[in-house]
Amino acid sequence: MKYLKINEIFFSIQGESLNTGIPTVFVRLTGCPLRCNYCDTKYAFKEGVKMSLSNIIKKIKSYDSRFVTITGGEPLAQHNVYSLIDLLLDKSFTVSIETSNGLSIEKINKHVDIVLDIKTPGSGECEKNIIDNYQFLKKTDQVKFVICDINDYLWTKDYIYTYNLHQICNVLLSPSYDEMPIRFLADNILKDKLPARLQTQLHKIIWDNERGK
């Protein structure tokens, strides 16, 4: 029997990505090798309980939603996450995964929508970015940049064009909560005609930093 260490499983509104606004079941796995300065889920670094894959599926089904997002922490830090993904797809769930750019995404099932969080200098972890990951991205996938300040924005603009990310998949820019004014970011995207989508954390607008939302 296979297990995963689970921090929490909850039902909420998708606050980020191209699926913003859709009621979604979130499966948050315990553990993360990164320590981003703006991390809002530090409680997921160590807190969690061991759950069998069958019990995880049972909990997900109880919410009666076909949309499932696997997140963390860093979900790819636990190898059995790939088995969970396969089970969910076999049961006709629509699955997305939120992962840092600090671990390889090569083994993620091609039927999963990947949201790849590319780390900016403001995160303190940009040296961990894996450039080779971009070859495994699909048109339906998304890369996300959390922007902390103007230096992050300028770095991101150059980075997008350096790796032609806008020609590979969807590019999302999100202001770091309580750091980057969203209007400032919007104005710069328009000024530079940047091939990217502005997003905000809708769940924080609704519930602030309430856990499990």
Q: How confident is the model over 13-35, as pLDDT tens digits? A: 998 899 999 999 999 999 999 99
Question: How high is the pLDDT of residue 203?
Answer: 77
CA atoms of 116 and 152, how far apart (whole Å) = 17
Angle at alpha carbon of residue 195, lines to 194 and 201, rounded to 5° = 90
Q: Give the H/E segment covering residue 171.
A: strand 170-175
pLDDT per residue as tens digits for the range 57-105: 999 999 999 999 999 999 999 999 999 999 999 999 999 999 999 999 9
Question: How high is the pLDDT of residue 190?
Answer: 98
Residue 47: phi and psi, rounded to 5, are: -65, 135
- Domains of the chain, each with CATH number or no CATH: 3-207 (3.20.20.70)
Question: How high is the pLDDT of residue 71?
Answer: 97
pLDDT per residue as tens digits for the range 115-144: 999 999 999 999 999 999 999 999 999 999
Task: Specify the pairing of strand 3-13 against strand 23-29.
Answer: antiparallel
pLDDT confidence band for 168 (50 / 70 / 90): very high
Question: How high is the pLDDT of residue 174?
Answer: 95
Based on its alpha-carbon atoms, the radius of gyration of the chain, rounded to whole angstroms, reads: 17
Task: Specify the pairing of strand 142-147 against strand 113-118.
Answer: parallel
pLDDT confidence band for 55 (50 / 70 / 90): very high
Quick check: 153 pLDDT over 90?
A: yes
The pTM is what?
Answer: 0.94
Q: What is the DSSP code (8-state) at residue 30?
A: S
Quick check: 2 pLDDT over 80?
A: yes
CB–CB of 41/29 below 8 Å? Answer: no
CA atoms of 26 and 10, how far apart (whole Å) = 5
